[in-house]
């Protein structure tokens, strides 16, 4: 019989990382919702203790912030489109595609705006820059707010749909293209 050591594993034995926890939590949230992302559930999925999870991610809020950063990492990739309209289209579609995959995280950020992370804030500023290049400067962010609200409405409608009967991306794109085609600039 071999003796097993009790207590905290030596650093060399511990392979758990914050990245693993965040990736696992994001997968669970996509399929089962945020409520399923308890520290105990994450620990069970990762084969560790809840204390090991809390060592890497001390609070649920920290976990949510990290999940949002992880899920929306690609939002701030460089834009390829040549014109403000085309860049705006690219940005909004990028957000809707990502947001639809992570609707529970979008809803959490809408419920608590302090969850706007290092990924979402620069993205919003890029959207603002492109809307101001159109629509006579969009000094009151009317176009920005319209597009963001429309995107959120679509994301929430897709999340609420059952059996795939919600609106699809093609419908969203058609409406977005109509709005953009009626802008000056």
Give the pLDDT confidence of 73-98 residue by residue, as tens digits: 999 999 999 999 999 999 999 999 99
Give the CA distances from residue 85 to residues 5, 48, 81, 153, 178, in Å, rounded to whole numbers and listed in that order: 62, 49, 9, 21, 11
> How many CB atoms sit inside 10 A of residue 74's CB?
10
d(CA 167, CA 126): 26
Residues 81 and 87: beta-carbon distance below 8 Å: yes
Flag residues of the chain having pLDDT under 50. Answer: 11-13
Looking at the structure, tell me whether residues 128 and 155 fall in a common domain. yes
| Statement to judge: residues 87 and 169 lie in one domain | yes
Structural domain range at position 31? 18-70
77/33 same-domain check: no
Rounded to two decimals, the pTM is: 0.84
Compute CA distances 37 → 20, 65, 68, 72, 76, whole Å.
13, 13, 13, 18, 26
């Amino acid at each position: 019989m071999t003796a097993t050591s009790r207590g905290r594993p030596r650093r060399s034995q511990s392979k758990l990382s914050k990245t693993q926890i965040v990736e696992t939590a994001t997968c669970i949230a996509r399929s089962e919702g945020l409520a399923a992302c308890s520290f105990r559930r994450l620990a069970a999925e990762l084969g560790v203790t809840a204390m090991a999870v809390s060592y890497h991610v001390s609070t649920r809020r920290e976990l949510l912030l990290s999940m949002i950063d992880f899920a929306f990492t690609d939002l701030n990739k460089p834009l390829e489109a040549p014109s403000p309209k085309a860049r705006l289209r690219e940005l909004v579609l990028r957000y809707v595609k990502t947001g639809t995959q992570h609707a529970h995280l979008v809803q959490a950020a809408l419920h608590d705006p302090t969850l706007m992370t290092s990924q979402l804030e620069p993205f919003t500023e890029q959207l603002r820059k492109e809307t101001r290049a159109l629509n006579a400067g969009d000094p009151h962010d009317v176009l920005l707010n319209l597009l963001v609200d429309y995107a959120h409405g679509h994301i929430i409608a897709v999340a609420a749909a059952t059996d795939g009967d919600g609106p699809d991306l093609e419908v969203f794109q058609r409406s977005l293209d109509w709005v953009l085609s009626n802008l000056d600039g």
